[in-house]
Structure 1
Amino acid sequence: MSGRFFNQVAVVTGGSTGIGFAIAQALLAEGAKRVYLTGRSAASLDNAVATLGERAVAVVSDVSRQADLDALKTLVQQRDGQLDMVFANAGICEKNPVGETSEASYYTMFDINVKGVFFTVQTLLPLLKDGAAIVLTASICSSNGMEGLSLYNASKAAVRSFARTWANELKGRKIRSNVLSPGFTRTPLMDNGLKMDETQIQALTEHVSAIVPLGYMASPDEIATSALFLASNDARYVNGVELMVDGGLSQI
């Protein structure tokens, strides 16, 4: 590895599994001094840290709760003082067919996927160094109308919008804000959020192989490499963009 993140400190929300875990693992492999992982499951976080090692710090934290975000900020401030980057990655994906969606489902989706992203960044902003990087995880669903996912699609469109505004609003501090929008990726969201069984996942895998130009579904590691690019000095003149990491699906 290149050591692009030597001695740097990062927060990765939703970092215990899937894309967030892959981002954290890649950061540490590239020399990060410390990576704070957040999530709602202590067991999942403990498993992640057992794999990642002592430079990973598990923080049980719900991004939809301001008190949890304040506690995260205090911990980072006491231990490291400042941050080089924030990956606002935590999110959920659940089906909500129109006509069958409860008000509670709406609030849950937007509290985590939209409110959670906004207040994660706002809370940690005072700790970010000038010239730091913010990477928001959205989805290719931010710009399409995938059936049965109207709340998820809309929440990710809001995340994409945040990056545009923050790229402008934080220009005085030279803090870059970009969006990572994965395509079909095999993560626990399929099992835990979308409640897909193995037969359904296999059928989706075959469907993805047929419609994606590169011919397969991504792994979290393949998405993480693009996240690290956006946070790195390699992307020092990249600001406010949405990087579609989808094997070419959104381009055809």
Structure 2
Amino acid sequence: MSAPAALITGGTSGIGRATAELLHSRGYRVMVTGIDSLATAGLPEDVLTVRADARSLPDIDRAIDQACRRFGSLDLLFLNAGVSRPGPIESTDEDAFDALFDINVKGNFFTLQKALPLLNEGASVVFTVGAGEGLGAAVTAAKGALLPLMRSLALELAPRRIRVNAVSPGLINTPAYSKVGVSQEMIDSWAGDVPLGRVGAPADIAEAVAFLASDAAGYITGDNLVVSGGIGVHARP
């Protein structure tokens, strides 16, 4: 029996990369997609890396074709590719709005559609969601659209025993923050707002994804696993 196979979109850095490394260490065959080919340095040599823009259907087709040729079938599809463009409605232009929905919604939808023939009976699909109110109307709407999509797909794919869930990260220290000019000092200062007293690491989310992909989560579908260190659990006095 061959080892399980996983395809991770947005897998060259941050949460996706940490998940690729964790699953590889646990015996998975892993393929990742991303747009930053330089970010793959340090990944295990046998992790297949494919450059693909999540909003491009031809890129998605090429990635799924490579997954088919390398693995033949998939046991986990981790739809992690996403973009965040925080800001109020007044400063959100059409390009930012289109990018949010093209990458977070359209890209995830069509990646799953095109990967369906590869998904084994009993496979797991996991979406990364995680954006809450306060980051801006457009990013909240784009990420929020994934939850009803996930729940609908959980029902639609249940006859094939394909489980569809989401993971919603809280404050996680990823390279996404530095790309928008947030310093490490500022990230560290956010720990005081987290009930568990620390900013999360990508490995915290990787463990949650690995759980949702495992037999231990075999009776969980249509659910959103919040991994936030307690943010949102209660109102602070």
So what's the TM-score if we normalise by structure 1?
0.89
Distance 2:83 2:181 in 1: 14
Residue identity in the other structure for 1:11: L
Distance 1:116 1:43 in 2: 22
Note the 1:31-180 alignment, pairs <5 A: 31-32=27-28, 34-45=29-40, 47=41, 51-139=42-130, 141=131, 144-147=132-135, 149-180=136-167
Contact 1:244-1:250 within 8 A present in 2 as well: no
Q: 1:221 maps to what in 2?
A: 203
Distance 1:203 1:63 in 2: 29
Distance 1:62 1:112 in 2: 8
Give structure 2 stretches of 5+ with no counterpart.
Answer: none
Q: 2:170 maps to what in 1?
A: 183
User: 1:21-65 CA deviation, whole Å, 9 max, x = no partner?
Assistant: 000000001111x211100122123x1xxx232320010011111
Q: Does 1:203 align with 2:198?
A: no
Contact 1:36-1:58 within 8 A present in 2 as well: yes
User: 1:86-130 CA deviation, whole Å, 9 max, x = no partner?
Assistant: 000001112232112111110011100111111111111110001
Distance 1:54 1:102 in 2: 40
- What is the Cα-based RMSD across aligned positions, in Å? 1.3
Q: 1:3 maps to what in 2?
A: none
So what's the TM-score if we normalise by structure 2?
0.94
After TM superposition, what 4+ stretches of structure 1 lie above 6 angstroms from structure 2?
none
Distance 2:193 2:87 in 1: 24
Q: Give the deviation of 1:196 after TM superposition.
A: 2.3
Aligned residue for 1:168, secondary structure, equals helix
Distance 1:100 1:218 in 2: 29
Contact 2:21-2:44 within 8 A present in 1 as well: no
Give structure 1 stretches of 5+ with no counterpart.
Answer: 1-5
Distance 1:13 1:169 in 2: 22
How many residues align structurally?
A: 233
Q: 2:228 maps to what in 1?
A: 246
Residue identity in the other structure for 1:239: T
Distance 1:70 1:234 in 2: 31
Q: Give the deviation of 1:75 after TM superposition.
A: 1.0
